[in-house]
């Protein structure tokens, strides 16, 4: 059950359709997205119902393409009191874009979301956490485009993303263009390694008891808020099967039928709020980190 002395954790939802994930980018071309059966509305509305039942608000990182094609969904999310944030326009990994292409993508998505939702968009999350050591330049562009926080730098080893030596908890990164608050996806440090404890596929893979232990450890031992995320498509176990490698299909579909029940338990066991509220609660105690020159190890580090 909830312990009201614990920090308030951040609840986030990545709003994208099942066929837009990076695991299927080789088999589902972006120009073919309109040809696929869209299920993003039914899955997102199911999440909205679940959150309303528990009087919990979240940050919804919405794909610009989804916003353009489903504007009423964005309006309904905002009207329900949730925070609207940016998940890029077309879900393209940052390292596959030039700096100018990245700027155009986030600018287009931010404008669309603000215009549809009628609220300022201050938060960004990169597709597949693709702000890594080779794309830290993206942080400067986010500052220049008016974002106040990011939630893309995952402090783990992974075959697709991550900066293992990055700060594990909320901090401000001092960029060349200004400052940006970073909300790293949550980890638990064991045996000298950071183990993911943030949601998504990890939430479906790990037994719920392990995940509950991890979040409690972050709250009660380290006195920090956890940053949790769920994809809208993860509460839709009946979605069509998309072709791909066995590993990618398994990553995408493993335990989809358990996501909703586990999420209900999580919302019962812990306190949650949107990232903008957690930012407000944490502003007086945020550490500052500074970007290092390209090629430095670590790429950025906390200032003493």
Residue 138 placed within a domain: yes
Per-residue pLDDT band for 35 (boundaries 50, 70, 90) equals very high
Q: Kindly give, in sequence order, each residue whose CB lies less than 8 Å from that of residue 199, ignoring residues fewer than 6 positions away.
A: 12, 185, 228, 229, 230
Task: Tell me the pLDDT tens digit for each residue of 244-276.
Answer: 788 888 888 999 999 999 999 999 999 999 999
Task: Note the pLDDT tens digit of each residue in 204-240.
Answer: 989 999 999 999 999 999 999 999 999 999 999 999 9
Structural domain tally of the chain? 1
Q: Quote the pLDDT of residue 159.
A: 74
Whether 4 is in a domain gets the answer: no
CATH code for the domain in which residue 232 is found? 3.20.20.370
Tell me, yes or no, whether 132 lies in a domain: yes
205 in any annotated domain: yes
Indicate whether this model's pTM tops 0.75: yes
**Is residue 2 in a domain?**
no
DSSP 34-99: GGSPP-HHHHHHHHHHHHHHTT---EEEE-HHHHHH-HHHHHHHHHTTPEEEE--SS---GGGS-H
Mean per-residue pLDDT over the chain, rounded: 92
Provide the residue range defining the domain that includes 147: 9-302
């Amino acid at each position: 059950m909830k312990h009201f002395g614990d920090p308030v954790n951040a609840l986030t939802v990545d709003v994208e359709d099942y066929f837009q994930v990076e695991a299927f980018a080789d088999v589902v071309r972006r120009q073919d997205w309109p040809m696929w059966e869209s299920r993003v509305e039914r899955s997102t509305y199911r999440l909205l119902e679940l959150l309303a039942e528990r009087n919990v608000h979240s940050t919804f990182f919405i794909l610009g393409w989804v916003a353009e094609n489903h504007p009423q969904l964005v309006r309904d999310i905002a009207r329900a009191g949730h925070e609207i944030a940016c998940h890029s326009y077309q879900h393209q990994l940052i390292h596959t874009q030039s700096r100018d292409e990245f700027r155009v993508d986030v600018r287009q998505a931010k404008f669309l979301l603000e215009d549809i939702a009628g609220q300022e968009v201050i938060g960004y999350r990169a597709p597949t956490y693709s702000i890594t050591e080779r794309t830290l330049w993206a942080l400067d562009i986010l500052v220049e485009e008016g974002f106040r926080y990011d939630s893309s730098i995952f402090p783990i080893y992974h075959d697709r993303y991550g900066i293992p030596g990055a700060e594990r908890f909320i901090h401000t990164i001092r960029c060349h263009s200004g400052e940006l608050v970073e909300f790293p996806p949550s980890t638990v440090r064991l045996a000298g390694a950071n183990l993911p404890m943030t949601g998504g596929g990890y939430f479906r893979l790990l037994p719920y008891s392990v995940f509950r232990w991890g979040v409690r450890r972050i709250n009660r031992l380290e006195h920090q808020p956890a940053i949790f995320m769920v994809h809208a498509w993860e509460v839709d176990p009946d979605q069509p099967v998309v072709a791909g490698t066995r590993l990618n299909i398994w990553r995408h579909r493993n335990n989809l039928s358990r996501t909703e029940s586990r999420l209900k338990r999580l919302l019962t066991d812990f306190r949650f709020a949107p990232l903008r509220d957690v930012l407000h609660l944490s502003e007086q105690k945020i550490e500052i980190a500074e970007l290092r020159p390209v090629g430095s190890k670590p790429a950025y580090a906390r200032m003493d």
